[in-house]
Amino acid sequence: MAQKEYPSLLWEISKPDISKPSYLYGTMHVSSKVAFSLSDSFFEALESADVIALESDPSEWMDEMEQADMLNRNFDWDFTNQNYGDFYSRAFSVNIPSAKDYAEMLRFEPSIVNGLLYRFNGFEADFEEDTYLDLFIYQAGKKMKKEVMNLEDFQEVQSLSEKAAAAAQIEPEKPSPFGYDENPYELIQNAYRNGDLNTLDSIMHLLNSKSFIAYMLVQRNEQMSVKMDSIISSGSSLFSGIGAAHLAGKEGVIEMLRAKGYTLRPILKDFTDKSLKIRNKIEAKSIDLELDYQYPTDSTFRVKLPGKLYELPMSSGKQTYIHPEMIHGTNYSVVRIKTFNAITGSTPEKTMQTIDSLLFENIPGDIISKKSIQINNHPGFDVINKTRRGDYQRYHIIALPSELLIFKVKGPKKTAVSSDAKTFFESIEFLTPENTNWETFTSASNEFSVLLPQKLKKSSAMSEAGFLSLQINDPSSEDYYILQRNILHDYKYIEEDEFELTYLIESLAERSGFKLNDIVFKSEGKHPSVESILISKTGTKIYAHSLLNGGNYYLLMHVSISGVKNQEFFDSFRLNELTYPDFESYTDSAMMFRVVSPVNPVIPEVFHSGGTDIYGDGNSEDVDYSHLPSSDSRVFFNDETGEKIVVDYYKYHYYRSEKDERAYWSKRFSSSWNYEDMKISEIDSGFVNSYPFREFSYTNSGSSREINVRVLLKNSTKYSIYYLSDSLDTRSEFVTTFIESFQPLDSVYTTSFFLNKADLFFDDLWSTDSLVERKALSSLSEIRFADSNAEDITHVIEKYKNDDFSSYEKAFLIEELGYLEHNCIIPYLKEKYRAVDDTSSYQLAILKALGRMRTKAATLLFKELLIEETPLSKVRDINPIFIEYKDSLELAQFLFPEILELSSLDEYQVSIFQLLARLKDKGFINPEEYRHKLKEITWEARNTLKRKLAAEEENGDNNYGDYVSDDYLSGSFYYKPNSPERKFYNDPLAVYSSLLNDFREDHNVQSFFLKREKISDESVLFSLKAMDVILGETLTQEYADLFCESNKTRNSLYQLSLSYDIDLSNSCLNQQSLAEGILFKNACPKDSVTFIDKIWIAVKDTSGFVYFFKSLNSYNQEWQVSCYGLFNKDEEDLTTSDSLRGNKIKIRGATQEEKLLEIL
């Protein structure tokens, strides 16, 4: 076998003019043992180097993420899909911790800590080292007192990630190149284990797209090789550890360094006990760090740390701070949660009793020691434990009057009981307020200000992805003050202010177990608000105010021990003019726009995950995906102010075009979203660099909020910018600057969206460039052909040759001719039909095209060709050729009576009989014209009836058996509901009833109509009797009562009575029964339905009765509540606005039913 070009992970770097060699090592960013088979030569190279260089410097990661606003984002929170559905259940909360919450708090470990320090896989714990290889190299360098440097810039890597993400969007996912029994990650591990960089490089190219390789490997390789050259050229010997995937190949770091004049020599693995001794020495060594006091945002405590205390977003009411100390792999953390003792009547001592009962189950491993302690007179525990891995951890758990705090240190081996950890715990100090005077607290960005009983040194409150919580007690009175802000940016609907603010308080009271004593809505003032009084289970009075500004919801609460309201607290609350950090230009290379904003959006990271995200294939350079549609979204979210702007990007297909610009904007204006009960206005229009935009506003008369959407179209790229505003306030600087500065960038699409691109398509289809030709051929369905393209289409059908131009594509083009007007089309279709008499797919396509033309000449040719040469295929293929005639009975009449001869063919019978019945009932055909087919129709009708009766006998009326064929259910003749009788023509027995109605004197026909009465299925029976009514017969009182008594048919009966003379005066039909029929039409017969009540309810600008029912689901035995309305006061008036409909709201017992009615 030929020698491999890249046979080792370790490479010596030398040059004639450099006396001391440098080294390059390929790492894996994991803690798995496969990455830690480290040879003697590895440690010798590490010890000999002056400088250690990694892709990035771990000591800078937290600061880089904080500066990029990545620590303040809760990535589990959905920024784009907010709606009212779950908002009320989470908007405001007084989350009084339970024992379960405290247990979760003891176990809690932010996932970011594992990613930064350890990268453990819980399933592989016994086969992992204390950290991952890159961090081990960093720690070794620091403990050896060597300089550690980064080879890449954080911002540059982020930019490359964005570009890779953009490219990935236009490269469709491809199947894995590996077999079913081949695990790509195992193959990577094997190659790494063997030091086989050739195989590793091949796997990476198979797994990843061309763009991923270009951005995430090649360009980064260039940057790192330049930095390595700079370090070595300065006279320092270098040990560089970078991902092994960066080393091999013609565009790998090895070849890039060789191109700069270096000699790179592989160093094969050599193992003695030397490497183990060096490694153990490194891991056992510690270095002295300088610790200094750090403070949380509210300065409640201080503690000594070797670096900054980083605040993470709130999670489930927990506020977390961390300091990951990278040299020893130690994590210092503080977790705190509010206890709300002022509401529950509990004490810190009782809290510690609960904690004591939870320690055994919720501290990992063995508890080595547990001591009761006091810090600043606050009770707590000092706990030391040892995990199953043999690592020590230490906790100080302290209960304050208003919250519980857990100070924790964890790390490998005994780092948690080191001198630094001891200093950390001994330095914990809880700070008392500097004075007891009330002072104004101003939030970040000057969003609001309020008087508080304690001075906060930093203008920031605990926040979690838009939820802001400020909770503080008054030392002089033990009263408690809460301020919360939550956000809802729903771009689909606006609820009324009074209902929403009231319901938010009611929901808070119910979930917290408070009694609601009083609630008042106030519309005066700048912002709508609600004032209320709540009573806790212990009898404590809680005063609560909620108010609304745009998408921001505010709650102020005063927990009053004395029961007296502190009005000054509520009156002091002010919403201020917002201030922002510096506005900076942001360029999005993926979505192709530039904007000025104080915040940047969160960009999804591109990552390689062992074949689970595979784009492109090994031959990706031969495929062009740039013509395909693509979409993306960016959310510019200001966590401090709660403001959000969403930019949606949609790139239309390269060949897509619109004929009518006015119609295009009208569609954007009116029908893109479900803005029911809302006023829609165009508030602005114009051009941005000659590209048109329209801005729309959606408002609700009962709300001060506005949904604003600006749609900008640059050629074939559409940008939709969404933001929420308040009609009582001016637009913020954030919104104004963003909107005014938004600029689309140049793209590959340079043709107006409103110019027909069919000519471009045909030019590309005939191109000699195979990539261009393939792009056009794969885009047939996107083309909006013009009348002038008719001859181009026929030319392609006849002359174009390509292995991928199948019969499907040809049939599609033939059908498209039916939408065009050109004198060449009918002659061509006629000639083509006769030329393809052995290909039914082409014949059916030609017949569809003729039907689409909707002219008498085309209809007559349709009939002529169909009878002359009848294509046979599956029924589902035949039915569509008649679809165009379902709404064109004037044309359909010209098909008869000749086409009746085809009804003897199973494939045609369904469609022909349905069409015939419609034509007869509308007077286009006289029954005598099909008398000669009477015997056949009667025979089919009686057989269909037999099938139905047999099915009922065998299975009951819940099973149609063979009665309704797939062809009826597949929509062979689906009628739009613009006339009430059309749906009955989809029932086969109803169709036969129509066709035979004029021949009742025939003995066999009489037998059919008599046997129909044996049908027990109310739905089918109703269809038959409804057809009789349509044909002029009177519905008897017996059947009116039967259909009225059944939920399955009651509403259908009422709807039929609106168009036909049906006497329902003596029936059971009323508002209540009609509502029940509408709600439970499809309910299982075994379900139990009970009427609860009717309530007069106001909804938007109208009001009426809503009827409530509860039903017991026979399948899962769950009770559910359903409601329907609105009905007028006159109970004999059955008209309804259909404004309120709630289906199957699950309930648990009578109390919830009563609460539901009380709320309504």
Angle between helices 133-143 and 273-284 (to 10 degrees): 70
Do 329 and 118 touch, CB atoms closer than 8 A?
Answer: yes
How many CA atoms, within 13 angstroms, populate the side-chain half-sphere of residue 948? 25
Which residues share a beta bridge with 462? 469
- SS3 of residue 969 by DSSP: helix
Domain boundaries, the chain: 10-72+109-284, 292-430, 441-575, 584-744, 755-852, 872-1033, 1088-1159
- What pLDDT does 192 receive? 92
Judge if 292-430 and 584-744 fold alike in CATH terms: yes
- What pLDDT does 159 receive? 83
Calculated CA dihedral for residues 1015, 1018, 1023, 1028, nearest 10 degrees:
70
- Residue 456: pLDDT band (50, 70, 90) is low
- Residue 109: pLDDT band (50, 70, 90) is confident
Do 464 and 74 touch, CB atoms closer than 8 A?
Answer: yes
Q: pLDDT digit string (tens) for 1017-1075?
A: 888 999 999 999 989 999 999 999 999 999 999 998 998 998 898 888 777 889 999 99
Residue 531: φ, ψ to 5°? -115, 140
Edge-first strand order for the sheet with 392-399 is: 310-315, 318-325, 330-338, 403-410, 392-399, 378-386, 366-375
Q: Which residues of 197-216 are buried (b: 16+ CB within 10 A; e: fewer)?
A: bebbbbbbbbbbbbbbbbbb
Q: What does the radius of gyration of the chain's CA atoms come to, in whole angstroms? A: 38
**What is the helix (H) or strand (E) element at residue 547, kind and residue range?**
strand 541-549
Do 126 and 373 touch, CB atoms closer than 8 A?
Answer: no
| pLDDT higher than 50, residue 77 | no
- SS3 of residue 169 by DSSP: helix
Q: Of 239-253, 349-363, 517-531, 830-844, where does mean pLDDT reach its minimum?
A: 517-531
Question: Exposed/middle/buried for 9, CB within 10 Å: 0-12, 13-18, 19+?
Answer: buried
pTM for this predicted structure? 0.73
- What pLDDT does 1028 receive? 92
State both tokens at 13.
Answer: 């770097």
- What pLDDT does 683 receive? 82
CA distance 512 to 506: 10
Q: Which residues of 892-931 are buried (b: 16+ CB within 10 A; e: fewer)?
A: bbbbbeebbebbeeebbbbbbbbbbbbbbbeebbeeeebe
Cα end-to-end distance, the chain, whole Å: 81
Answer yes or no: CATH 1.10.3470.10 is held by domain 584-744.
Answer: no
CA distance 246 to 26: 8
- What pLDDT does 679 receive? 82
Cβ atoms within 10 Å, residue 1078? 18
For residue 686, the 8-state DSSP code is: E
CA distance 752 to 749: 8
Instruction: Locate all alpha helices (DSSP H) within 234-336, ordered by sequence.
Output: 253-259, 273-284
| Bigger pLDDT: 826 vs 729 | 826
Do 491 and 511 touch, CB atoms closer than 8 A?
Answer: no
Q: What is the residue-averaged pLDDT of the chain?
A: 86
Residue 385: φ, ψ to 5°? -135, 165
| pLDDT higher than 60, residue 373 | yes
- SS3 of residue 938 by DSSP: helix
Q: pLDDT digit string (tens) for 287-325?
A: 989 999 999 877 889 999 999 999 887 666 788 999 999
CA distance 150 to 147: 10
Q: Of 458-462, 718-722, 783-787, where does mean pLDDT reach its minimum?
A: 458-462
| pLDDT higher than 70, residue 471 | yes
| pLDDT higher than 80, residue 733 | yes
Do 428 and 422 touch, CB atoms closer than 8 A?
Answer: no
Q: What is the mean pLDDT of residues 114-122?
A: 83
Cβ atoms within 10 Å, residue 982? 16
Phi-psi region of 585 (alpha: psi -120 to 50; beta: other; left: phi over 0): beta
Answer yes or no: CATH 3.40.1000.10 is held by domain 292-430.
Answer: yes
- What pLDDT does 209 receive? 84
Nearest to 83 by CA among 494, 624, 590, 594: 494
Cβ atoms within 10 Å, residue 1155? 13
| pLDDT higher than 60, residue 79 | no
Nearest to 303 by CA among 423, 428, 418, 484: 428
| Bigger pLDDT: 84 vs 536 | 536
Q: pLDDT digit string (tens) for 609-628?
A: 333 332 233 334 455 677 88
Q: Of 58-62, 109-113, 600-604, 720-724, where does mean pLDDT reach its minimum?
A: 600-604
Answer yes or no: CATH 3.40.1000.10 is held by domain 441-575.
Answer: yes
- What pLDDT does 434 receive? 64
DSSP-assigned states of every residue in 365-391? SEEEEEEEEEETTEEEEEEEEE-TTS-
- What pLDDT does 938 receive? 95
Do 1067 and 1041 touch, CB atoms closer than 8 A?
Answer: yes
Q: pLDDT digit string (tens) for 959-997?
A: 444 444 333 333 333 333 345 556 678 889 999 999 999
Q: pLDDT digit string (tens) for 510-546?
A: 888 899 998 999 887 778 999 999 999 889 999 999 9
Those residues whose C-beta lies under 8 Å from the C-beta of residue 838, and which sit 6 or more positions away, are none
